[in-house]
Amino acid sequence: MGLLDWRQACYVIMQEAPAMNTSFAFEDEIDLSRFNNLYKTESTTDAAPRSNQIPDGRYEVVVAEVCLTTSQSSGNPMVRWVLRITSSAFRDRILRKYSVITENSIRFVRKDLEVCGLHLDKFEDLKSRVTELEGVELEAQQITKGEFTSVYFNRAITSHTQADGVANDDIPF
């Protein structure tokens, strides 16, 4: 079906469809003219940066989601990490880490798991225990080299090493 045929089919469907309750405004019904003067005078210097990238650096993060999947390009097994930043100006932003599992990379995957406190007797146990990693607090470091960005786990953040200096057992009540 060509583009014109597709548009004609959509038009026919819209014409034959029963009337719907359209309580939302369409583009031609929205009046933006009241913003014209403000748009001309408003400065963009203090607006959010153009880049949506998180700069390289160390961040306190929590493992928001982790799963075992396969790499689309190679088909190798892979651990996919979603890390939510819990400190700094980038709080609640997301870092992603993809740990492809091969004979050459398994030592790095093992280090990541052990930094998170997950010690396995057999590596195949990861399939049933991967969700234990969710909620783990870490210090992670993002480093960009060329067009590639990598995320490394430096250490786990426990109640005794929290960045604010207050451990859970220091609470007076």
Residue-wise pLDDT for 116-160, tens only, equals 999 999 999 999 999 999 999 999 999 999 999 999 999 999 754
Domain spans of the chain? Answer: 57-161
- Collect the ranges in the chain with pLDDT lower than 50: 3-4, 6-7, 9-15, 17-18, 20-22, 50, 160-168, 173
**Nearest of 55, 54, 56, 81 to residue 136 by alpha carbon:** 81
Per-residue model confidence (pLDDT) at position 120: 95
Distant-in-sequence, close-in-space partners of 130: CB < 8 Å, separation ≥ 6: 66, 67, 68, 79
Q: What is the CA radius of gyration of the chain?
A: 25
Which CATH entry fits the domain spanning 57-161: 3.40.50, 2.60.120, 2.40.50, 2.60.40?
A: 2.40.50
- The b-or-e profile of 19-46 (16+ CB within 10 A means b, else e) is eeeeeeeeeeeeeeeeeeeeeeeeeeee
Stated pTM of the model? 0.64
Predicted pLDDT of residue 172: 54
Look up residue 100 and give its DSSP letter. Answer: E
